[in-house]
């Protein structure tokens, strides 16, 4: 017997690396040293920093992968993978430098996984990060044929004196919410239960979704906020805090960017809630408390700013086709979010 008899095709793995080589190289920054294929990726720190701080993050895509695999559409989940990591490190005010992926599958399908890597490369370009390397593991018997899982890892950099850690936030600061592109990559297990238990098909086109199929609506990739936020900082916008609205929604994530002795009051109805959330609530009979505690409800990222910076912030993001809304303010408290209609 040999390795192929056990279900692992080493030659196919080598061919896959060759097939994605150009995708990876297309993301490289000037600081990347060497190419694809070494035991480790090498990256030279950018110049110009006095006290550089490296900020790292890791995440996955979760059960959204199940939808991609059922629909045999694999071009968006790679964007999700990058987005979930780079949006996290961005909250420190950090610029993503490089990204690595881990891809595990039951049987290597070059065409399928090339679509995945193409999405990862797209996400890296959207965030300015180099796709420095990765790992592809063929694991027969662990994953079924056609199944795969993803994890991602990124490293970012920020000047220590400019790092956001909650200490800059002041009572009276204003919360500006940036619109999401949909559910992003959170709450998908509930989405799948609503679809499956409700007898819906992924190619159904409910009236509330304006002719879009259910499958396409929930495969819409996570919005990447990196370049727009970094441009705002570079242009002098004074940002005191940031939050990435992921699992747990606004109630769990928004207070994470606050300082000691602070809470945040949110004004319900102050932002646009996309129809996909209305459809989920109605189709699954999900109450609003559960909706807000599961989904981003139309706000994917939040900035905390002084009141005199709000107008400039909203104009900046709207000019880049990112909806922006004044959604609340920082109050005296103990880390709680209040005022949200549930």
Tokens of 159: 């000047």
Query: Which residues of the chain are in CATH 3.90.650.10 domains?
Result: 174-338
Q: Which of the residue ranges 18-32, 33-47, 203-217 has the most confident prediction, judged by mean pLDDT? A: 203-217
Domain 174-338 CATH assignment equals 3.90.650.10 = yes
Q: What is the pLDDT of residues 285-337, one digit of tens each?
A: 999 999 999 999 999 999 999 999 999 999 999 999 999 999 999 999 999 99
320 within 8 A of 331, measured Cβ to Cβ: no
316 within 8 A of 247, measured Cβ to Cβ: no
Beta carbons within 8 Å of 103's beta carbon, 6+ residues apart: 113, 116, 117, 134, 135, 136, 137, 148, 149, 150
Q: Just give the CATH number of 3-162.
A: 3.30.1330.10
Rg (CA), the chain: 21
Residue 2, pLDDT score: 66
133 within 8 A of 41, measured Cβ to Cβ: yes
Does the pLDDT of residue 341 top 70, yes or no? Answer: no
6 within 8 A of 142, measured Cβ to Cβ: no
Residue 4, pLDDT score: 75
Q: Taking all residues of the chain, what is their mean pLDDT, rounded to a whole number? A: 94
Query: Which residues of the chain are in CATH 3.30.1330.10 domains?
Result: 3-162
Full-prediction pTM beyond 0.85? yes
Residue for token pair 């080493």: 10
* Burial (0-12, 13-18, 19+ Cβ within 10 Å), 200: middle
Element (H, E) at 302: strand 299-305
Grade residue 21 by pLDDT with cuts at 50, 70 and 90. Answer: confident
Q: What is the pLDDT of residues 61-73, one digit of tens each?
A: 999 999 999 999 9
Residue for token pair 């991602």: 152
């Amino acid at each position: 017997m040999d390795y192929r008899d056990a279900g692992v095709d080493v030659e196919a793995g080598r061919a896959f690396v060759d097939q994605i080589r150009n995708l990876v190289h297309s993301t490289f920054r000037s600081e990347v040293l060497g190419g694809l294929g070494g035991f480790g990726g090498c990256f030279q720190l950018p110049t110009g920093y006095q006290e550089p701080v490296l900020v790292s993050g890791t995440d996955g895509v979760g059960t959204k992968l199940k939808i991609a695999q059922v629909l045999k559409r694999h071009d968006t989940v790679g964007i999700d993978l990058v987005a979930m990591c780079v949006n996290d490190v961005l909250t420190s005010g950090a610029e993503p430098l490089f990204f690595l992926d881990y891809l595990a599958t039951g049987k290597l399908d070059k065409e399928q996984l090339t679509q995945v890597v193409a999405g990862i490369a797209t996400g890296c370009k959207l965030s300015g990060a180099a796709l420095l390397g990765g790992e592809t593991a063929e694991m027969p018997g662990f994953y079924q044929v056609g199944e795969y899982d993803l994890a991602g890892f990124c490293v970012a950099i920020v000047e220590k004196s400019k790092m956001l850690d909650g200490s800059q936030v002041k009572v009276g600061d204003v919360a500006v919410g940036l619109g999401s592109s949909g559910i992003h990559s959170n709450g998908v297990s509930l989405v799948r239960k609503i679809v499956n238990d409700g007898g819906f098909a992924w190619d159904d086109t409910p009236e509330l979704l304006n002719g879009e199929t259910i499958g396409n609506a929930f495969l819409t990739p996570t919005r990447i906020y990196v370049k727009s936020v970094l441009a705002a900082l570079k242009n002098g916008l004074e940002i005191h805090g940031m939050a990435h609205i992921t699992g747990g929604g606004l109630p769990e994530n928004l207070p994470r960017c606050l300082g000691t002795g602070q809470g945040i009051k949110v004004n319900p109805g102050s932002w646009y809630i996309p129809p996909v959330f209305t459809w989920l609530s109605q189709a699954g009979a999900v109450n609003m408390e559960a909706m807000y505690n599961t989904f981003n409800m139309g706000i994917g990222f939040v900035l905390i700013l002084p009141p005199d910076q709000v107008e400039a912030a909203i104009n900046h993001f709207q000019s880049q086709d990112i909806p922006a809304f004044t959604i609340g303010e920082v109050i005296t408290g103990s880390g709680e979010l209040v005022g949200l209609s549930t």
